Amino acid sequence: MKNRSGRRARRKRRKKRGETGHVTLSHEASFMDLRRWLKQKGFSSKGLIPASFTDTGRGLMATQPIEANDLVISLPEKCLLTTSKVLESYLGEYIKRWKPPVSPLIALCSFLIAERYRGDTAEWSPYIKVLPTSYTCPVYFSKEITDLLPMDVRKKAETQKEQFEELYSTSLPFFLSLQPIFTHPVEVVFTQDAVRWAWCSVNTRTVYMEHARSDFLSREKNVFALAPYLDLLNHCPEVQVQAGFNELSRCYEIRSVPGCKKFQQAFICYGPHDNQRLLLEYGFVASGNPHSVVYVDLDTLKLCLNDADKQLQQKLLFLDDNDFLRNLTFGIDGPSWRLMTALRLLSMKPEQYSCWKSVLLGAPVSHDREDWCILKAQILCQYLSDDNSKALLRIAQLKHGADGAQLKQLCLVESLRREERVILDRSKQVLQNILPQPSS
Ligand SMILES: C[S@@+](CC[C@H](N)C(=O)[O-])C[C@H]1O[C@@H](n2cnc3c(N)ncnc32)[C@H](O)[C@@H]1O
């Protein structure tokens, strides 16, 4: 008889209960220091411990059941790193002096970089030490890897990269003004890589918290708060939570609507984001994400249209005026309502223009125009499928000989492309089923 208490049996039982493999990290010196430091600020991490999970990486595990609607975590204001704390710090006088005022984002980024530079002597050192040293957000991607992204997200990633580079170059004079704080030249402390790290730390880890406007900061939104320990919570699209700063308890609180079983990962939901947005803003992809779709960008749409249509430019202008040139998608259920409506408007013959209002509301133009739309949707779907296959092939080639960071990025783009593949295959089936069969 097999030993039922063996490792394999335990793994099997865990799998049956829907638990994934994990290794606890709470005994690691950096996490022990973090918990000690937070305890001094009034936070008790009882009930949640850091662990590394096979499917999501580092996260928090419940060591006791969390009942439905119970608090998952409650982090006192003292533990939150906000722009007010930065203004009260040794950086404050430099920020207050600088004209025009720096943005709340740059204030936070500068503080993270300065604290990392100060090492063990930094007040926030226990927190800085558990932050990732690098990120998998597209601002880290080379052009070769960015080019493997689906067109729509590729353009957004390129814009994001340009915006980051612009932010870095326009913030350089301010960084240079911080020289008196450092013994090394500021240029070697505030490198583009350091600012990218801080920028990703803020963008991927802050919680939303509104702050009163400060005269010392620019008018850009000041809604960030870095929340040590709480920011170890990973995202699950299906989980419902209530989160926010509680003015009475003066704590940032998260309540879980469904609760969480003992020894399972405690998740929160970052928002109803599709995988493209998760990749752009957080540098990961959630498999089986119910919000995921495949975008049809304008260039792809144009590729599949008839150039001979003399009214094409006018039709595209009309679509633009009615906000029908963005968010055109394929989903697990086939082409979206917006995509089909855009195609219907594009399909119209001049003598049918009088019915544009009902078409905008979703009515088909005519039988033959509806067939035209389904055919165009099929062509679009096939075009995106071919692009997907080419990208997956190229990823497989590039994975040979890639270094650690590149490999992580390639695997991430690969997961996004695999999720896209599932959606496109399902869309193809849906379109095949609705296409009228030739009569025998
Ligand atoms: C707020 S942090 C969560 C803790 C983070 N995993 C860590 O190790 O510090 C957000 C980051 O966690 C990762 N993440 C969150 N949810 C994830 C998920 N479901 N799968 C994979 N990575 C996830 C992403 O890298 C994201 O940028």
What the block records as the tokens of 180 is 């008196």
pLDDT for residue 111 is more than 90: yes
Distance (angstroms) between ligand 1 centre and the Cα of 162 equals 24
Give the residue whose CA is nearest to atom 8 of ligand 1: 58
Q: In the numeric block, which tokens belong to residue 392?
A: 């997956």
Residue 430 alpha carbon to ligand 1 centre in Å: 34
Question: What is the CA(187)–ligand 1 centre distance, in A?
Answer: 30
The CATH superfamily label for domain 81-226 reads set domain protein methyltransferase, domain 1 (3.90.1410.10)
> With 90 as the cut, is the pLDDT of residue 311 above it?
no
CB 37 within 8 A of CB 206: no
Residues 270 and 238: their CA atoms lie apart, in Å, by: 10
Q: How far is the CA of 119 from the centre of ligand 1 (A)?
A: 24
Instruction: Tell me: pLDDT of 338 over 50.
Output: yes
Q: How many residues does the chain have?
A: 440
Of all atoms in ligand 1, which is nearest to the CA of residue 232?
4
Taking the centre of ligand 1 as the mean of its atom positions, its distance from the CA of residue 79, in whole angstroms, is 20
**Residue 268 — very low, low, confident or very high, per pLDDT cuts 50/70/90?**
very high
Query: Does residue 241 have a pLDDT over 90?
Result: yes
Per-residue pLDDT, averaged over 177-191, amounts to 97
Distance, CA of 30 to CA of 34 (rounded, Å): 6
74 within 8 A of 256, measured Cβ to Cβ: no
- The region that residue 288 occupies, defined by phi over 0 for left and psi between -120 and 50 for alpha, beta otherwise, is left
Q: Which atom in ligand 1 lies closest to the alpha carbon of residue 200?
A: 27
Higher per-residue confidence, 360 vs 38: 38
Report the alpha-carbon distance of residue 261 to residue 240 in Å, rounded.
Answer: 15
Q: Regarding the domain delimited by 294-434, which CATH topology (the fold level of the hierarchy) does it fall under?
A: set domain protein methyltransferase, domain 2 (3.90.1420)
pLDDT band at 242 (very low <50, low <70, confident <90, very high): very high
Burial of 5 (0-12, 13-18, 19+ CB in 10 A): exposed
Nearest atom in ligand 1 to 205's CA: 1
Residue 428 · residue 381 · CB < 8 Å:
yes
Report phi then psi at 265, rounded to 5. Answer: -70, 135
Query: How much is the mean pLDDT over the chain?
Result: 93
Question: Residue ranges per domain, the chain?
Answer: 7-74, 81-226, 294-434
Q: What does the pLDDT look like over 40-65, one tens digit per residue?
A: 999 998 899 999 999 999 999 999 99
Amino acid at 402: A
Q: What ipTM, to 2 d.p.?
A: 1.00
**Mean pLDDT throughout 165-178?**
98
Helix (H, G, I), strand (E, B) or coil at 383: helix
Q: Ligand 1 centre and the CA of 420: distance in Å?
A: 21
Pocket lining for ligand 1, CB < 6 angstroms: 56-59, 132, 204-205, 231-235, 282-284, 286
Whether the pLDDT of residue 19 is over 70: the answer is: no
pLDDT attached to residue 426: 97
Residue 12 — pLDDT band, cuts 50, 70, 90? low
Q: Indicate the pLDDT class of residue 1, thresholds 50, 70 and 90.
A: very low
Out of 10-19, 43-52, 75-84, 364-373, give the one with best mean pLDDT: 75-84
Cβ atoms 393, 123 nearer than 8 A? no
Percent of the chain with pLDDT over 70: 94
| Closest atom, ligand 1, to C-alpha of 281 | 27
In which residue are the tokens 């022990």 written? 32
Pocket probe mutation, ligand 1, options 54, 234, 268, 412, max atoms within 8 Å of Cβ = 234
Look up residue 423 and give its two tokens: 């959606």
Tokens standing for 377? 């949707």
Written as six digits, the tokens of 285 are: 């992809």
Q: Which atom of ligand 1 is nearest to the CA of 137?
A: 27
Task: Give the other-Cβ count within 10 Å of 435's Cβ.
Answer: 13
Q: At 16, is the pLDDT very low, low, confident or very high (cuts 50, 70, 90)?
A: low
Backbone angles phi, psi at 22, to 5 degrees: -150, 160
Closest to 409 in 3D by CA, of 394, 390, 388, 395: 395
CA distance 256 to 267: 9
Residues 309/290, Cβ–Cβ less than 8 Å: no
Q: Which residues contact 218 (CB under 8 A, 6 or more apart)?
A: 100, 101, 102, 103, 104
Query: Encoding tokens for residue 164?
Result: 């980051």
- Region 340-367 average pLDDT: 86
- Quick one: pLDDT at residue 3? 47
Q: Whose CA is nearest to atom 6 of ligand 1?
A: 58
The region of weakest confidence among 114-118, 158-162, 289-293, 369-373 is 369-373
Q: Which of 142, 164, 160, 144 is nearest to 152 (CA)?
A: 160
Q: Residue 100, preceding bond cis, omega within 30 degrees?
A: yes
Protein residue with its CA nearest to atom 12 in ligand 1: 234
336's tokens: 């979206």
Angstrom distance (rounded) from CA 302 to CA 228: 47
- pLDDT(2) > 50: no
Mean pLDDT of 93-98: 98
Rg (CA), the chain: 26
Q: In which element (H, E) is residue 339 found? A: helix 337-347
Which atom number of ligand 1 is nearest to the Cα of residue 235? 16
Which band of pLDDT confidence, cut at 50, 70 and 90, is reported for residue 28? very high
Q: Residue 438 Cα, ligand 1 centroid: separation in angstroms?
A: 50
Band the pLDDT of 414: cuts 50, 70, 90.
very high
CB distance 194 to 221 below 8 Å: no
What tokens does 82 get? 């906000």
**Token output for 43:** 């936070």
3-state secondary structure 230-263: HHHCEECCCCCEEEEEECCCCEEEEEECCCECCC
User: What does DSSP say about strands 265-268 and 234-235: parallel, antiparallel, or unpaired?
Assistant: parallel
Other CB atoms closer than 10 Å to residue 40's CB: what's the count? 10
